Amino acid sequence: MNVLKNRFIYLWVSFFFLVLSIFMLIFWKLNLAIDMTGWINIEYTYENNVDIDKLRSELDILKSEIKFKDKEVINNIWVYGITWEKAFSLVAWFDSSIDEVTLNTLKLEFKSKALNIVKQSDKTIIESKYTNIWKSFWDYIKKTAFFTLFMAIIAITIYVTYAFSWVVSWISVISFAIITLVTLFHDIIISAWLYIISWYIFNEFQIDTFFVTALLTILGYSINDTIVIFDRTRDNLKKFAWKTAKDSKDLYEIINLSITETLRRSIYTSLTLVFVLLTIFLFWPENLRGFILAMMFWAIVGTYSSIFIASPLLYEINKNKKLSVYKKVVIDPNDKIVV
């Protein structure tokens, strides 16, 4: 498989989507969940059957009833059933620009009116849990997430630098580390963009702590295929770079060969993961679907970047360099060594 032949097409396509993704992440309004904004979540239990869709439409009228200075303060309301339980959850997103004291009063007013509405639907419904998380919680989560992400990237850089040191003369080990970081950035940004796009179809997919967890989890998986291809490239460099005549291969041939040898393994591994995630997505509770969807996006994008981004970049950076294997130091047992 000659991936490098069309490498500029792959690189420009990825660059276009990367720029588009960054633009959308900066300027589009994100569908932030309750734990990212500091708003409220109410859980109800019931004994009889409840029509969740009917409740959702009835509770939606509260958006126009809860006001501050004649202005609606509720941005969105979402109601979803809890799988395998006779319970459902109500999530409300408020205008966070209001001062905390006033906002808390409005939340309690919403809580009271919501209970009256659901009681009219079924007298057996009771409020089992009320969660009011202030915006300061999101600030803490954001700082922790960025710090954890930064430390993970530093650890990955150190690992790649160590793992691919002393590979082939004239190919800098730093190029392996830099390309790994570029592909990680590519995978995270484009996958996040795909996730945001999905929100316009499915409103329940939000930026929440599960999303942050998926982000950190995928860092380890996203690098997996890249490391596998780089490792095979390293072995083939040692095998073919120093030979002459018919057994010798240049960098172009070696990278294409390495991709071909690992392609089936990469695709099969990713497909297996996607099938498992798809099963979980279809049958697990609704509040986990956003996390699973983010994982599926990253599995697909990560596989693509390992094959069509990382390897072409490795070639472009090192294509004009002369290949030769580092010589190993041979110790003569007859030499006298003074300790």
In terms of domains, do 65 and 185 share one?
Answer: no
Q: Does residue 148 fall inside a structural domain?
A: yes
Of 132, 150, 179, the last residue of a domain is: 132
Judgement on whether residues 60 and 166 belong to the same structural domain of the protein = no
Of 97, 132, 167, the one marking the end of a domain is 132
Task: Domain of residue 57: give its range.
Answer: 39-132
- 331 pLDDT more than 50: no
Is the residue at 10 inside a domain? yes
284 plus 236 within the same structural domain: yes
Residues 164 and 266 in one domain: yes
Is there a domain that residue 77 lies in? yes
Q: Tell me: do 161 and 210 sit in the same domain.
A: yes
Pair 127, 142 in one domain: no
Are residues 148 and 222 both part of a single domain? yes
pLDDT-derived band at 13, boundaries 50, 70, 90: very high
Structure confidence at residue 145 as a pLDDT band (50, 70, 90): confident
Query: Do 151 and 49 share a structural domain?
Result: no
Is 337 contained in some domain? Answer: no
State the total domains in the chain.
2
Same domain for 90 and 180: no
The sign of the dihedral angle between the CA atoms of 80, 83, 87, 91 is: negative
96 and 244 co-located in one domain: no
Q: What is the mean pLDDT of residues 91-108?
A: 81
- In this structure, the answer to whether residues 159 and 305 fall within a common structural domain is yes
- The answer to whether residue 249 is domain-embedded is yes
Q: Assess if residue 330 is contained within a domain.
A: no
Q: Confirm whether 335 is domain-assigned.
A: no
Instruction: Please indicate, yes or no, whether the overall pTM of this predicted structure exceeds 0.85.
Output: no
Between CA 218 and CA 222 the distance in angstroms is: 6
Q: Residue 40 forms beta bridges with which residues? A: 92, 132
pLDDT at 328: 46
Q: Is the pLDDT of residue 329 over 50?
A: no
Please identify which residue in the block is written with the tokens 């459902």. Answer: 88
Does 173 share its domain with 266?
A: yes
CATH number at residue 91: 3.30.70.3400
For residue 145, being part of any structural domain is answered with: yes
CATH number at residue 210: 1.20.1640.10
pLDDT tens figures, 299-326: 888 888 888 999 899 888 888 766 655 4
Determine the Cα–Cα distance for residues 181 and 82; give it in Å rounded to an integer: 39
The mean pLDDT value of the chain amounts to 79
**Domain end among 64, 99, 132:** 132
Average pLDDT over residues 272-299: 80
Max avg pLDDT among 24-33, 103-112, 317-326:
103-112
Averaged over 183-208, what is the pLDDT?
79
